[in-house]
Chains A and B, each alone.
Chain A
Amino acid sequence: MTISSKQKPYVFGALAGLLLTASVGIAGEFFGTSTTFPRASTWLLTTLGVDISGLAFAQASGGSLTGASFPDWQLLFVIGIGVGAFLAARLSGTFKTESMPPMWVETMGSSRGKRIAFSLVGGAVAMIGARMAGGCPSGHGVSGMSQLGLSSLIALTMFFVGGVATARVLYKGGAA
Protein backbone atom coordinates (compact mmCIF):
# COMPACT_ATOMS: atom_id res chain seq x y z
CA MET A 1 0.00 0.00 0.00
CA THR A 2 1.32 3.39 -0.89
CA ILE A 3 0.19 6.55 0.78
CA SER A 4 -0.31 9.50 -1.55
CA SER A 5 1.50 12.67 -0.57
CA LYS A 6 -1.86 14.37 0.02
CA GLN A 7 -2.77 11.77 2.65
CA LYS A 8 0.59 11.75 4.42
CA PRO A 9 0.02 14.50 7.02
CA TYR A 10 -3.27 12.90 8.05
CA VAL A 11 -2.00 9.30 8.14
CA PHE A 12 1.19 10.10 10.05
CA GLY A 13 -0.64 12.61 12.24
CA ALA A 14 -3.14 9.90 13.23
CA LEU A 15 -0.26 7.48 13.92
CA ALA A 16 1.31 10.15 16.14
CA GLY A 17 -2.00 10.42 18.01
CA LEU A 18 -2.00 6.66 18.62
CA LEU A 19 1.62 6.87 19.68
CA LEU A 20 0.76 9.60 22.20
CA THR A 21 -2.02 7.40 23.58
CA ALA A 22 0.35 4.43 23.91
CA SER A 23 3.01 6.58 25.57
CA VAL A 24 0.53 7.95 28.11
CA GLY A 25 -0.93 4.49 28.76
CA ILE A 26 2.36 2.59 29.01
CA ALA A 27 4.94 5.07 30.28
CA GLY A 28 2.65 7.77 31.68
CA GLU A 29 4.45 10.38 29.55
CA PHE A 30 2.93 13.10 27.38
CA PHE A 31 5.04 14.52 24.53
CA GLY A 32 7.13 17.62 25.12
CA THR A 33 10.51 18.87 23.94
CA SER A 34 11.22 22.47 24.93
CA THR A 35 12.16 21.84 28.58
CA THR A 36 15.13 19.86 27.33
CA PHE A 37 16.74 23.01 25.84
CA PRO A 38 17.25 24.98 29.10
CA ARG A 39 18.23 21.67 30.71
CA ALA A 40 20.85 21.13 27.99
CA SER A 41 22.24 24.66 28.21
CA THR A 42 22.47 24.60 32.01
CA TRP A 43 24.02 21.12 31.80
CA LEU A 44 26.64 22.51 29.37
CA LEU A 45 27.45 25.37 31.75
CA THR A 46 27.74 23.05 34.74
CA THR A 47 29.94 20.70 32.73
CA LEU A 48 32.17 23.66 31.85
CA GLY A 49 32.52 24.30 35.58
CA VAL A 50 30.13 27.25 35.93
CA ASP A 51 28.29 27.14 39.24
CA ILE A 52 24.61 27.87 38.68
CA SER A 53 23.31 26.54 42.00
CA GLY A 54 22.64 30.08 43.22
CA LEU A 55 20.05 30.75 40.52
CA ALA A 56 16.38 30.60 41.52
CA PHE A 57 15.92 28.60 38.31
CA ALA A 58 18.26 25.88 39.59
CA GLN A 59 16.35 25.59 42.87
CA ALA A 60 12.82 25.65 41.41
CA SER A 61 10.86 22.41 41.08
CA GLY A 62 13.52 20.50 42.97
CA GLY A 63 16.14 21.29 40.32
CA SER A 64 14.17 19.50 37.62
CA LEU A 65 14.30 22.52 35.28
CA THR A 66 18.07 22.17 34.83
CA GLY A 67 20.45 19.59 33.47
CA ALA A 68 20.53 18.01 36.93
CA SER A 69 17.55 15.94 35.82
CA PHE A 70 19.44 14.34 32.90
CA PRO A 71 19.02 11.66 31.70
CA ASP A 72 15.23 11.70 31.74
CA TRP A 73 12.36 10.52 29.52
CA GLN A 74 12.17 13.77 27.56
CA LEU A 75 15.90 13.88 26.75
CA LEU A 76 15.66 10.39 25.27
CA PHE A 77 12.45 11.38 23.45
CA VAL A 78 14.25 14.34 21.85
CA ILE A 79 17.26 12.18 20.89
CA GLY A 80 14.78 9.64 19.54
CA ILE A 81 13.22 12.24 17.22
CA GLY A 82 16.66 12.66 15.68
CA VAL A 83 17.22 8.90 15.39
CA GLY A 84 13.78 8.30 13.87
CA ALA A 85 14.02 11.19 11.42
CA PHE A 86 17.49 10.05 10.33
CA LEU A 87 16.40 6.45 9.75
CA ALA A 88 13.18 7.45 7.95
CA ALA A 89 15.05 9.96 5.76
CA ARG A 90 17.76 7.44 4.85
CA LEU A 91 15.37 4.54 4.19
CA SER A 92 13.03 6.68 2.07
CA GLY A 93 15.85 8.39 0.19
CA THR A 94 14.76 11.85 1.37
CA PHE A 95 17.92 12.66 3.33
CA LYS A 96 19.23 15.87 1.80
CA THR A 97 22.00 18.12 3.00
CA GLU A 98 21.30 21.83 2.86
CA SER A 99 23.46 24.72 4.00
CA MET A 100 20.73 27.39 3.71
CA PRO A 101 16.91 27.07 3.62
CA PRO A 102 15.90 27.75 -0.03
CA MET A 103 12.71 29.62 0.94
CA TRP A 104 14.77 31.95 3.15
CA VAL A 105 17.33 32.60 0.38
CA GLU A 106 14.53 33.44 -2.07
CA THR A 107 13.29 36.36 0.02
CA MET A 108 16.06 37.25 2.45
CA GLY A 109 19.08 36.67 0.23
CA SER A 110 21.98 34.27 0.45
CA SER A 111 23.99 36.06 3.16
CA ARG A 112 25.01 33.39 5.64
CA GLY A 113 25.85 35.95 8.31
CA LYS A 114 22.35 37.38 8.14
CA ARG A 115 20.81 33.92 8.46
CA ILE A 116 23.05 33.10 11.43
CA ALA A 117 22.19 36.37 13.18
CA PHE A 118 18.45 35.88 12.64
CA SER A 119 18.72 32.22 13.71
CA LEU A 120 20.49 33.01 16.97
CA VAL A 121 18.12 35.84 17.90
CA GLY A 122 15.00 34.07 16.60
CA GLY A 123 15.96 30.81 18.31
CA ALA A 124 16.53 32.61 21.61
CA VAL A 125 13.20 34.46 21.34
CA ALA A 126 11.38 31.22 20.44
CA MET A 127 12.82 29.34 23.41
CA ILE A 128 12.21 32.17 25.91
CA GLY A 129 8.62 32.29 24.63
CA ALA A 130 8.11 28.52 24.75
CA ARG A 131 9.36 28.23 28.31
CA MET A 132 7.35 31.25 29.37
CA ALA A 133 4.19 29.87 27.78
CA GLY A 134 4.93 26.50 29.38
CA GLY A 135 5.33 24.50 26.20
CA CYS A 136 6.00 24.35 22.47
CA PRO A 137 3.95 22.91 19.59
CA SER A 138 4.49 19.42 21.01
CA GLY A 139 3.96 20.18 24.69
CA HIS A 140 1.10 22.65 24.36
CA GLY A 141 0.07 21.87 20.80
CA VAL A 142 -0.12 18.09 20.76
CA SER A 143 -0.15 17.06 24.44
CA GLY A 144 -1.94 20.02 25.99
CA MET A 145 -4.60 20.19 23.29
CA SER A 146 -5.22 16.44 23.56
CA GLN A 147 -5.99 17.09 27.23
CA LEU A 148 -8.36 19.85 26.06
CA GLY A 149 -6.52 22.38 28.21
CA LEU A 150 -7.61 26.02 27.95
CA SER A 151 -4.02 27.21 28.52
CA SER A 152 -2.87 25.11 25.57
CA LEU A 153 -5.60 26.43 23.29
CA ILE A 154 -4.57 30.00 24.11
CA ALA A 155 -0.85 29.22 23.75
CA LEU A 156 -1.29 27.42 20.42
CA THR A 157 -3.45 30.25 19.07
CA MET A 158 -0.79 32.77 20.13
CA PHE A 159 1.96 30.67 18.48
CA PHE A 160 0.15 31.04 15.17
CA VAL A 161 -0.86 34.69 15.69
CA GLY A 162 2.77 35.59 16.45
CA GLY A 163 4.03 33.36 13.65
CA VAL A 164 1.69 34.59 10.92
CA ALA A 165 2.26 38.26 11.87
CA THR A 166 6.05 37.82 11.86
CA ALA A 167 6.05 35.87 8.60
CA ARG A 168 3.98 38.66 7.05
CA VAL A 169 6.64 41.21 7.98
CA LEU A 170 9.62 39.01 7.06
CA TYR A 171 8.25 37.71 3.79
CA LYS A 172 6.32 40.93 3.05
CA GLY A 173 3.06 39.05 2.75
CA GLY A 174 4.69 37.45 -0.25
CA ALA A 175 2.15 34.66 -0.42
CA ALA A 176 2.74 32.66 -3.56
Chain B
Amino acid sequence: MTLVFGLITGTLFGAFLQQAEALRFERQVGAMRLVDMTIVKFMLTTIVVGSIGVYLLSDLGVVSFSPRSLSLGLQIIGGLLFGAGWAIIGYCPGTSIGALAEGRFHVLWPIAGMLIGGLVFALIYPFVQSTIRPIGNFGSLSLPQILGVSHWVVIAALAVGSFFLFRFFERKGL
Protein backbone atom coordinates (compact mmCIF):
# COMPACT_ATOMS: atom_id res chain seq x y z
CA MET B 1 0.00 0.00 0.00
CA THR B 2 2.91 2.31 0.82
CA LEU B 3 4.12 1.83 -2.75
CA VAL B 4 0.74 2.71 -4.21
CA PHE B 5 0.63 5.89 -2.11
CA GLY B 6 4.11 6.76 -3.38
CA LEU B 7 3.04 6.38 -7.00
CA ILE B 8 -0.18 8.37 -6.58
CA THR B 9 1.55 11.17 -4.64
CA GLY B 10 4.38 11.34 -7.16
CA THR B 11 1.97 11.42 -10.09
CA LEU B 12 0.07 14.38 -8.63
CA PHE B 13 3.29 16.18 -7.69
CA GLY B 14 4.70 15.65 -11.19
CA ALA B 15 1.50 17.02 -12.74
CA PHE B 16 1.58 20.11 -10.47
CA LEU B 17 5.25 20.78 -11.27
CA GLN B 18 4.57 20.35 -14.99
CA GLN B 19 1.56 22.67 -14.99
CA ALA B 20 3.46 25.33 -13.02
CA GLU B 21 6.20 25.06 -15.71
CA ALA B 22 8.64 24.44 -12.85
CA LEU B 23 10.24 21.50 -14.67
CA ARG B 24 11.79 23.66 -17.37
CA PHE B 25 15.50 24.38 -17.68
CA GLU B 26 14.66 28.05 -18.38
CA ARG B 27 12.72 28.35 -15.12
CA GLN B 28 15.39 26.67 -13.01
CA VAL B 29 18.37 28.51 -14.47
CA GLY B 30 16.22 31.64 -14.75
CA ALA B 31 15.86 31.65 -10.96
CA MET B 32 19.61 31.39 -10.51
CA ARG B 33 20.19 34.17 -13.03
CA LEU B 34 17.64 36.16 -11.00
CA VAL B 35 15.42 36.79 -14.01
CA ASP B 36 12.52 34.35 -13.44
CA MET B 37 11.22 33.49 -9.99
CA THR B 38 8.66 30.83 -11.04
CA ILE B 39 10.29 28.03 -9.07
CA VAL B 40 10.76 30.23 -6.00
CA LYS B 41 7.05 31.15 -6.06
CA PHE B 42 6.09 27.49 -6.41
CA MET B 43 8.45 26.29 -3.70
CA LEU B 44 7.62 29.00 -1.15
CA THR B 45 3.86 28.56 -1.64
CA THR B 46 4.28 24.82 -1.13
CA ILE B 47 6.32 25.45 2.03
CA VAL B 48 3.80 27.91 3.53
CA VAL B 49 0.80 25.63 2.87
CA GLY B 50 2.78 22.51 3.77
CA SER B 51 4.03 23.94 7.07
CA ILE B 52 0.49 24.89 8.10
CA GLY B 53 -0.69 21.40 7.14
CA VAL B 54 1.99 19.30 8.81
CA TYR B 55 2.03 21.37 12.02
CA LEU B 56 -1.77 21.15 12.19
CA LEU B 57 -1.45 17.36 11.91
CA SER B 58 1.24 17.44 14.57
CA ASP B 59 -0.86 19.60 16.94
CA LEU B 60 -3.78 17.18 16.44
CA GLY B 61 -1.48 14.32 17.39
CA VAL B 62 -1.85 12.60 14.02
CA VAL B 63 1.89 12.64 13.25
CA SER B 64 5.12 13.47 14.99
CA PHE B 65 8.34 14.50 13.27
CA SER B 66 11.62 16.15 14.03
CA PRO B 67 13.58 18.17 11.46
CA ARG B 68 16.65 16.72 9.74
CA SER B 69 19.72 17.02 11.93
CA LEU B 70 21.97 20.02 11.55
CA SER B 71 25.67 19.84 10.69
CA LEU B 72 27.03 23.15 9.44
CA GLY B 73 29.77 21.28 7.56
CA LEU B 74 27.35 19.02 5.71
CA GLN B 75 24.71 21.61 4.94
CA ILE B 76 27.09 24.42 3.95
CA ILE B 77 29.59 22.40 1.90
CA GLY B 78 26.95 20.02 0.51
CA GLY B 79 24.53 22.87 -0.13
CA LEU B 80 27.08 24.93 -2.06
CA LEU B 81 28.14 21.90 -4.11
CA PHE B 82 24.53 21.09 -4.91
CA GLY B 83 23.83 24.69 -5.90
CA ALA B 84 26.81 24.78 -8.24
CA GLY B 85 25.79 21.53 -9.92
CA TRP B 86 22.16 22.66 -10.08
CA ALA B 87 23.09 25.82 -11.99
CA ILE B 88 25.22 23.83 -14.44
CA ILE B 89 22.67 21.12 -15.24
CA GLY B 90 19.54 23.26 -14.84
CA TYR B 91 17.60 20.57 -12.98
CA CYS B 92 17.30 19.19 -9.48
CA PRO B 93 16.83 15.44 -8.87
CA GLY B 94 13.01 15.54 -8.81
CA THR B 95 12.53 17.91 -11.73
CA SER B 96 15.01 15.98 -13.89
CA ILE B 97 12.66 12.99 -14.00
CA GLY B 98 9.68 15.23 -14.75
CA ALA B 99 11.58 17.09 -17.48
CA LEU B 100 12.46 13.80 -19.17
CA ALA B 101 8.77 12.90 -19.13
CA GLU B 102 7.76 16.17 -20.81
CA GLY B 103 10.13 15.50 -23.69
CA ARG B 104 13.33 17.33 -22.72
CA PHE B 105 15.52 14.37 -23.63
CA HIS B 106 18.76 16.30 -23.10
CA VAL B 107 18.13 15.82 -19.38
CA LEU B 108 19.32 12.22 -19.79
CA TRP B 109 22.91 13.47 -19.44
CA PRO B 110 22.36 15.28 -16.14
CA ILE B 111 20.50 12.20 -14.88
CA ALA B 112 23.49 10.04 -15.84
CA GLY B 113 25.72 12.55 -14.04
CA MET B 114 23.59 12.34 -10.91
CA LEU B 115 23.71 8.54 -10.96
CA ILE B 116 27.51 8.75 -11.19
CA GLY B 117 27.46 11.27 -8.34
CA GLY B 118 25.40 8.86 -6.24
CA LEU B 119 28.12 6.27 -6.70
CA VAL B 120 30.93 8.70 -5.90
CA PHE B 121 29.05 9.68 -2.75
CA ALA B 122 28.84 6.01 -1.75
CA LEU B 123 32.63 5.79 -2.06
CA ILE B 124 33.42 8.99 -0.12
CA TYR B 125 30.71 8.30 2.49
CA PRO B 126 33.15 7.27 5.27
CA PHE B 127 35.18 10.48 4.78
CA VAL B 128 32.03 12.62 4.78
CA GLN B 129 30.82 11.01 8.00
CA SER B 130 34.15 11.16 9.81
CA THR B 131 35.45 14.54 8.64
CA ILE B 132 32.65 16.80 7.46
CA ARG B 133 29.70 15.79 9.64
CA PRO B 134 31.45 16.72 12.95
CA ILE B 135 31.86 20.35 11.81
CA GLY B 136 29.20 22.27 13.72
CA ASN B 137 27.08 19.20 14.50
CA PHE B 138 23.97 20.18 16.47
CA GLY B 139 21.46 17.39 15.85
CA SER B 140 17.80 18.09 15.07
CA LEU B 141 16.91 21.76 15.59
CA SER B 142 13.82 23.63 14.49
CA LEU B 143 13.38 27.38 14.06
CA PRO B 144 10.65 27.61 16.76
CA GLN B 145 13.01 25.81 19.16
CA ILE B 146 15.96 28.15 18.73
CA LEU B 147 13.79 31.27 18.61
CA GLY B 148 11.83 30.11 21.66
CA VAL B 149 8.45 30.89 20.07
CA SER B 150 5.40 28.90 19.00
CA HIS B 151 5.66 27.25 15.57
CA TRP B 152 2.60 29.27 14.54
CA VAL B 153 4.56 32.50 15.03
CA VAL B 154 7.29 31.22 12.70
CA ILE B 155 4.73 30.03 10.14
CA ALA B 156 2.94 33.40 10.27
CA ALA B 157 6.26 35.21 9.73
CA LEU B 158 7.07 32.87 6.85
CA ALA B 159 3.67 33.53 5.26
CA VAL B 160 3.91 37.31 5.64
CA GLY B 161 7.52 37.35 4.39
CA SER B 162 6.54 35.24 1.37
CA PHE B 163 3.61 37.53 0.61
CA PHE B 164 5.83 40.62 0.42
CA LEU B 165 8.46 38.75 -1.58
CA PHE B 166 5.78 37.63 -4.06
CA ARG B 167 4.48 41.19 -4.32
CA PHE B 168 8.03 42.36 -5.05
CA PHE B 169 8.48 39.66 -7.73
CA GLU B 170 5.19 40.57 -9.42
CA ARG B 171 5.99 44.28 -9.42
CA LYS B 172 9.38 43.61 -10.98
CA GLY B 173 7.86 41.18 -13.46
CA LEU B 174 10.13 38.35 -12.28
Mutual binders A and B:
yes
- A-side interface residues toward B, CB under 8 Å? 5-6, 8-31, 33-34, 36-42, 44-45, 52, 55-58, 60, 65-66, 71-89, 92, 94-104, 115-116, 118-168, 170-171, 174-176
Contact across chains for A119 and B112 when beta carbons are under 8 A apart: yes
Given A77-B13, A123-B89, the answer on whether A82 and B104 have CB atoms closer than 8 Å is: no
Q: CB within 8 Å of A: which residues of B? A: 2-23, 25-26, 29-35, 38-39, 41-57, 62-63, 65-72, 74-90, 92-95, 97-106, 109-126, 128-129, 132, 138, 140-144, 146, 151, 154-155, 158, 166, 170
Q: Is B3's CB under 8 angstroms from A162's CB?
A: no
Contacting residues, chain A, for B41 (C-beta < 8 A): 9-10, 13
Q: A120 to B113, alpha carbons, bound, how many Å?
A: 4
In the assembled complex, the Cα of A147 lies from the Cα of B54 at a distance in Å of 7
Contact A76 B6 (CB under 8 A): yes
Q: Which of B16, B31, B55, B81 contacts A162 (CB 8 A)?
A: B81
11 more contacts with CB within 8 A, not counting A97-B104, A153-B143, are: A98-B104, A104-B29, A118-B89, A121-B88, A128-B124, A133-B78, A134-B74, A142-B47, A145-B50, A164-B33, A166-B32
Q: Is the CB of A166 within 8 A of B9?
A: no
Residues of A within 8 A of B5 (CB): 23, 26-27, 29, 73
Give complex CA distance A89, B15 in Å.
Answer: 8
| Main DSSP-derived SS at the B contact region | helix
The smallest C-beta distance from A89 to any residue of chain B, in angstroms, reads 4
Asked whether B142 lies within 8 Å of A147 as measured between CB atoms, the reply is yes
Which residues of the other chain, A, contact B77 by a CB distance below 8 angstroms?
A: 129, 132-133
Q: Which residue of A lies closest to B155 (CB)?
A: A148
- Which A residues are in CB contact (< 8 Å) with B121? 38, 57, 127-128, 131-132
Contacting B42 at CB < 8 Å: which of A9, A27, A146? A9
Question: What 5 pairs between A and B have smallest CB-CB spacing?
Answer: A123-B113, A80-B10, A162-B83, A158-B79, A17-B49
> Which of A29, A34, A75 meets B9, CB within 8 Å?
A29
CB–CB B118/A42 < 8 A: yes
Interface centre among B21, B83, B151 (most CB of A within 10 A): B83
Complex contact B114–A99 (CB within 8 A)? no
Instruction: Tell whether A77 pairs with B6 under 8 Å between CB atoms, given A127-B118, A151-B68.
Output: yes
Which residues from chain B contact A129 at a C-beta distance below 8 Å? 77-85
User: Which residue of chain B is the closest to A13 with respect to CB atoms?
Assistant: B45
Which among B39, B87, B95, B129 has the highest number of chain A CB atoms within 10 Å? B87
- Complex CA–CA separation, A155 to B69 (angstroms): 11
A173 shortest CB reach to chain B, Å: 8
Chain A residues closer than 8 Å to B78, beta-carbon distance: 128-134, 155, 158
A42 to B38, CA, bound (A): 34
Contact of B15 among A10, A24, A85 (CB under 8 A): A85
Q: Are the CB atoms of A89 and B103 closer together than 8 Å?
A: yes
Give bound CA distance, A36 to B10, whole Å: 13
* A13 contacts B43, C-beta separation under 8 Å: yes
